[in-house]
Amino acid sequence: MNEYITPHLLLKKGDIGEYVLLPGDPKRAKLIAEIMDESKLISANREFLVYTGKYGGVTVSVASTGIGGPSAAIAFEELLMVGAKVFIRVGTCGALRKGIEVPSIIIPYAAVRMDGVTKRYVDPEFPAVATPEIYLVLKEEAEKQSKVKVYSGIVVSDDAFYVEKEKMMYWANRGAIAIEMESSTIFTLAQLKGVKAGTILVVDGNIPEGTGKAVKGGFRGREYSEEIAEAIRLEAKIALEAVKRIHGNY
């Protein structure tokens, strides 16, 4: 009998490590893989690019999830099938609080479940929260560097990118500090499946200040300015350092 291969990520057991970093963008997956001590492209299909390698002696995999909760849920489920146990989203977000600068880093401890896919798994009252030890290690590793400011709080995970500002500010007025698209899915599924998850995000715009990504658009034919691209490289390094610590302590 042939060994099972997952239908979308095209993975089998042994292809990945227990620790998986989850950028949305396939190009960001490649960037993270290049930061690692060694890495190898395992599969490339649709929006899913998967690398496995080493960082600080620890086996780490990187898998792009595409945009939004449904594709993130597919990636999560298939990575879980082949042995993943710790999931860290490495992404971007729009700040919902004035004064949070571009490109700050946000480490969320919870997410508002404005996605649709997790409601197919569990009632909407179920909270989407990061695993405490993963959140704490990410926060501590982020605070070790002084290049950008670090914030923590609740983020909103929404399926719709082009949301009316008033709807986003509804959550800002209730304490949410940023909006993005995948953390609620990762947090909820990790809790339901008995594994661990956290998120690190780079702020790519400030919505109440009028610099949100949907408003300002791309940058000279690219998605991001070099300032934001550099912060994304920094958050990738922070996530990898966090994995090294988690492996040694948990």
Q: Which residues are catalytic?
A: 28, 46, 89, 204
Q: What share of the chain is helix, strand, coil (3-state, %, to 5)?
A: 35, 30, 35
What are residue 227's phi and psi, to 5 degrees? -60, -45
How many CB atoms sit inside 10 A of residue 37's CB? 12
Q: Which of 190, 102, 197, 210 is nearest to 151 (CA)?
A: 102
* Side-chain half-sphere CA neighbours of 164 within 13 A: 3
Whole-number Cα distances in Å, 216 to 68, 99, 102, 111, 220: 21, 17, 13, 25, 11
Q: E strands along 9-123, which residues? A: 19-22, 38-45, 48-55, 58-63, 86-95, 105-114
**Is the Cα torsion angle 195, 133, 95, 235 positive or negative in sign?**
negative
Report CA 224 to chain centroid distance, whole Å: 17
